[in-house]
Amino acid sequence: MRWSQTFIPTLKETPAEAEIISHKLLLRAGLIRKLTGGLYTFLPLGLRALRKVEQIVREEMDRAGALEILMPALQPPEIWQQSGRYESAQGVFFKARDRAKKEWILGPTHEEVVTTLIAGELSSYRQLPRNFYQIQTKFRDEIRPRFGLMRAKEFVMKDAYSFDVSDEAAQASYQKMYDAYARIFHRCGLNTMAVEADTGVMAGKFSHEFMVPADTGENEVAWCENCHYAANLDKASSGTPPTETASGGALEKFATPGVATIEDLARPPYNAPASRQIKTLVYMVENKPALILVRGDHQLNEAKLAGALGTAAFRPAEAEEIFAALGAHPGSLGAVGVKHLPIHADDSLRGGAGLATGANEDGFHLRGVEIARDIAVNDWNDLRLARAGEPCLKCGRPLRIRRAIEVGHVFKLGTKYSEAFNACFLDEAGRKQPAVMGCYGIGVTRTLQAVVEQCNDKDGIIWPASVAPYTVCLTPLSVAPGGPVMKLAEELYAALAARGADVILDDRDERPGVKFKDSELIGFPIRVGIGERSLARGEVELKPRGGPMTPVKAEQAVEKVLEILAV
Ligand SMILES: [Zn+2]
């Protein structure tokens, strides 16, 4: 490609709309342009990089035995009703209406579509295993689209769905995808960590997210440097010293005028340390009140609560609902003596004594609470948010927490969808069985931006060769037609192209400074500078992006470039 023939509108200034470095660089390097919030056009260079990421994904999915298909983006709402997700997914749907005013859904994901497909085709165990994937534009009604391609309304995803005869076989399919994902991200030049992920209300622990560590990431990951335990903070467990049980003693009610928070009760004259208080939270679970207890210095993790309750249909209760349930206002709530509501408690409270809590009477608290004696806990679970510095459950070293960008997710689904859509087969004994499913997503456009977020310096992007829009930029410093510089540039261009290199020739009549700056900003892996002075010595200047410039003999330039790219 000749620079003058393509379209690369680089920007000197950082557009005000961009908050994070990768978003700034994608705009400045002329790779994407914004239409409106959460919607972007890929310009020629951006599209080349996107196609390369897609191709890596495609090759590794094919290698893992998955079959590429293409499903409709437009979906009938009936299949979402059939799976039981129509209500819970309302918040993410983009909807359309046809001329008959019938509702349609622009697909945010395709479990319903693919399971409908399989239900119509599957009859025998001999047809399994199968894994179908597609690379397609998805839609999501983001409340707050931001960070460019990271959180957009429309984005390219690779989604795959596996169907197996048994749990064991599904586990093998899961592992294949896990391994393929590791190869995909490695080939894209990304450092990722595979972390244990929350499985929501579904039982089972087979869910991993592939995370790119980045301060601008929207996820938090707890990890252990020593044993490499890593989990999404939604899922992470950590050790905690047991709640002190020192002083038992009698239950005592005391006046606490004006006390509304854990902190208030921790101060004089009450002096009840947060770690010796019980935090009582009221939640509406499927429209019925329930009490959730965690230690005063701990935070509830709602993802864990969903797992413990077996439903995602819950929310914090409103003030009136709380008063109706306990007869007191927040600040004086407690579970002592409560028999009419289900009580879910965090494991770290187990065996606690000598604790303080609200008395369910405004302006009063209780001390000397002994959980086993005074509170009728129905259900103990790990419900709290892990914190940095707490001991790793596997090895005891302190856990660390860091931010990360989720680029992929592998998930064992089980038979929820195959049962809902009757995607069943007859097993060897002739018994009808639902297929055991897994689903596997990669945010393709997000992966592209994650590469930029991870690979850059003060001058611009540093593309890994595997996903660079072009791998070699030839930069003649004088473009006079027929001159020796341009003549050599044309020769190298033809020779590199003939050897399969993705080469762009900067044939613009611009000052060398402008050309160098643009090529650093866009981040081509190798720049070959061709100037009269070096040419007089029979040399060109070879500069890997982010590395030092080295002169090489003009006749060795092609081999040298290919050598660097092959590394
Ligand atoms: Zn550890």
Alpha-carbon distance 224 to 205, whole Å? 19
Residue 202, pLDDT above cutoff 70: no
Residue 137, pLDDT above cutoff 90: yes
What is the pairing mode between strands 550-553 and 539-544? antiparallel
Alpha-carbon distance 440 to 134, whole Å? 11
- Strands (E) across 37-153 are located at 39-42, 67-68, 74-75, 94-97, 103-106, 130-139
Alpha-carbon distance 308 to 302, whole Å? 10
- pLDDT higher at 206 or 152: 152
* Centre of ligand 1 from the C-alpha of residue 225, in Å: 7
Residues whose CB is under 5 A from ligand 1 (ion)?
224, 226-227, 229, 392, 394-395
Q: So what's the pLDDT on residue 257?
A: 93
To the nearest whole number, what is the mean pLDDT of the chain?
A: 94
Amino acid letter at 251?
Answer: L
356-365 per-position pLDDT tens digit: 999 999 999 9
* Centre of ligand 1 from the C-alpha of residue 194, in Å: 15
Type and span of the H or E element at 26: helix 21-28
Per-residue pLDDT, averaged over 257-281, amounts to: 93
44-71 per-position pLDDT tens digit: 999 999 999 999 999 999 999 999 999 9
* Centre of ligand 1 from the C-alpha of residue 148, in Å: 35
* Centre of ligand 1 from the C-alpha of residue 398, in Å: 8
Q: So what's the pLDDT on residue 245?
A: 64
> What single DSSP character describes residue 509?
-
Q: How confident is the model at residue 205 (pLDDT cuts 50, 70, 90)?
A: low
pTM value > 0.85: yes
213-240 per-position pLDDT tens digit: 999 999 999 999 999 999 999 889 998 7
285-322 per-position pLDDT tens digit: 999 999 999 999 999 999 999 989 988 889 999 999 99
* Centre of ligand 1 from the C-alpha of residue 400, in Å: 10
445-484 per-position pLDDT tens digit: 999 999 999 999 999 999 999 999 999 999 999 999 889 9
480-536 per-position pLDDT tens digit: 988 999 999 999 999 999 999 999 999 999 999 999 999 999 999 999 999 999 999
* Centre of ligand 1 from the C-alpha of residue 41, in Å: 44
Q: Are 99 and 142 in contact (CB under 8 A)?
A: no
Per-residue pLDDT, averaged over 322-328, amounts to: 94
**381-405 burial: b if 16+ Cβ within 10 Å, else e:** ebbbbbbeebebbeeeeebebbebb
Kindly give, in sequence order, each residue whose CB lies less than 8 Å from that of residue 103, ignoring residues fewer than 6 positions away: 77, 95, 96, 97
